Amino acid sequence: MATLSMAERRSLKPEDFVFPEKAPGPGSYPIENVDHAEAALMLSRGKPEEGEVRRAVCARYKIGCAGTDAEDRRDGGRDEASEKS
């Protein structure tokens, strides 16, 4: 799982978190890259904030989007065959 030291968390911008008002504290879910976005999806699973985390990750990376082929795909659902046409 992707980990950040507290110094690394503090260096992130508030918009790099699902909940910028909590940043960089606990429960703020850093999503500054795909690895941390996937970790946020996993860590929020089954919690009250899961929907909001999914929406933020989907908007930023197009992964974790309910009802799409892109759900939980690192490539954001891009299909090389369709990109060549």
pLDDT in tens, 6-37: 999 999 999 999 999 999 999 999 999 999 99
Give yes or no for residue 45 having a pLDDT over 90.
yes
Q: Report the alpha-carbon distance of residue 48 to residue 69 in Å, rounded.
A: 24
Residue type, 35: D
The whole-number pLDDT of residue 17 equals 98
Report pTM.
0.76
At 23, list the tokens. Answer: 């940043």
Question: 66 falls in which pLDDT band (50, 70, 90)?
Answer: confident
Instruction: Between 14 and 71, name the one with better pLDDT.
Output: 14
Could you please report the per-residue DSSP string of 6-58?
HHHHHHS-GGGBSSTTTTTSTT--B-SSHHHHHHHHHHHTTSTTHHHHHHHHH
